[in-house]
Structure 1
Amino acid sequence: MFLYLLVLVVLVYLYRWIRELPRVPDKSSRYVYVTGCDSGFGNLLARHLDQNGFRVIAGCFTERGEEELKKNCSSSLITAHLDVRSKDSVAKVAAMIRDTTGDKGLWAVVNNAGTAVPSAMCDWLEVEDYRSMLEVNLLGVVSVTLSVLPLIKKARGRVVNVASVFGRISAAGGPYTISKYGVEAFNDSLRWGMKPFGVKVLCIEPGFFKTNVTDVGVQSRSLETVWKKMPQEIRDEYGQDYFHQSLEILKTKVAPMCDADLMKVVSCMEHAVAARRPRSRYSPGWDAKFFWLPLSYMPSCVSDYVLTASAIPLARNAK
């Protein structure tokens, strides 16, 4: 019985693999708009799509990001300064894309731009800390998507939203998981809403990878900044040992979990853009597939126990 079940599973995965192999034709005539191309996934994706023949429009936050990308890509790649928090900046890039694509429309937008700082316990932060991250990670995704959606409808193309496994389970305090849950909700409602127009809406839910978002140095400095500006009353409630052990958890548990192979994520993004039959969701990373996503389906009492088990020493030190 077990052998038959194993054969069935293998056949199902083989069928899916074969079914998902075909790619769209005429890549050189298809424009793809990628946000957050200064570094990380966005930078690698822009270069990868450019090498594969797509017409890439790369949104960068800095001039240095634009210059570095141009050096490493073909002359067909277009860069643009983009601040997803700014209505004017988003509209300006959308107008440029409209003029560039003409009657063809926009084949795909990949909403990759995001930030993970500040990140801390919920009551360590102020509402402005939440607002600043939501403006980038959630409202930026909505703003960019709506700005080019008519062009994507024209091309019967795709919207690719980069969320996170933390959009499926809240394993950290602060606004990051809230923003990613919001991206998931926006993605789901847009997906069924766009079906009558032939537009596919896909979601990328990466696990832990070595990028600026998970950089221990960046996260530690952010945590230190948050700790220093907190009211003394809250610092006294938690205690100095709690803070130091929080920094230690970043170094000993978060850092070792991060995968250095960013192409695992970029390959999923490329498939979402280029495959004739893309998946609705992609979960790159072994931790996403075999830990975070299964944990998200567990009863709350189980997931809470697993998530707090590593923080028991911290809880004991909280005053």
Structure 2
Amino acid sequence: MKKIKILLLLLTVSVAGFYSCTDNDPVDNEIVTTKSISLRTTLNEIKKANNINGKNDLSMQDQAFCFNFVFPLTLSYNDGTVITVASYEGLLEILTAETETLFLVGIAFPFQVQQEGAITTIDNEEEFYALIQECGFSTINDDVLQFSCFQLVYPISVINANGSTIEVQTQGEFESLLINGEVVEIVFPISVIQANETIVVNDLYELFDLYDECDGNTTSCICTTDVNPVCVQTANGTVMYSNACLAECDGYTAADFVSCDPVLTTNFGNGLGSCFTMNYPVQIQYQGALVTVNNDGELLQYYFPNQSSIPAFVYPVTANFNSPGGLIQVTMADQVTFESFIINNCN
């Protein structure tokens, strides 16, 4: 377990209540922090850049990022403790001391950042999230949409941008929610399945750690781009990989392979150009950017069957299906609808 360091010179700590000790009216000086997915995303990027994993090299500075925090910053831990961080070096020390039971979750708005020599004030979570997207940071949205190291066990609950808690039943439904860039907060705990093992994830800190482990594990797993599909049976259904190497990178072996027949008859790549055609141009979300695609060849470059059943379209999209009753043109508002049309018309 990591030991928490007492940072007497780099930060000040105030516990629940968070009142100034020098004011007769403490309510006027209450420090308010907001739980922030964007903060946790940024801290995760800083930890990866500085190799903070227990025994750390703290030599890299935040100049490597597209913005620098303007200190001091007021942050809060998951246990409610509020701290004031005086410098970037102090922030690195705090991140080094984080554990699975004590970690940063909140920040006091507004705060300032320096970007290309200009000082910008960040007033709320929406502005903070826009900043990290501009910087290309790997958000939970990106990980869920583009990575298949493990599978979420559904249903899960999320809190949407309106503050309402909604239940998400499938991966497709979750992707449809995230693909529009909406910031959602996952309600923990959740369960995931990795290499046939069910793992309970208790908070965002643990989820980021799990994704970081996946990133580390995939760096040495290099596969060819040949298409020779194999399938594995998971708790969420049959998953098809383009080839055996990709399946093995996710922890499966030949003993886990099952027949792909039910999947191949409804597979997007097989159906494109035969069961249905796309109305181009369309846009694809790829690694945080929007890519315009003009033909089938270009589209298939952004189709990763081991990650998602269909490409990460920006909806709505229109396709022409060869149905039993003749050619029909359908405009689809989300991935779930697209999947259902493939299943119902491409058998």
* Bigger Rg over Cα: 2
Structure with higher RCO (Cα < 8 A, 6+ apart): 1
TM-score (norm 2): 0.26
Which one has a larger percent helix, Structure 1 or Structure 2?
1
TM-score (norm 1): 0.27
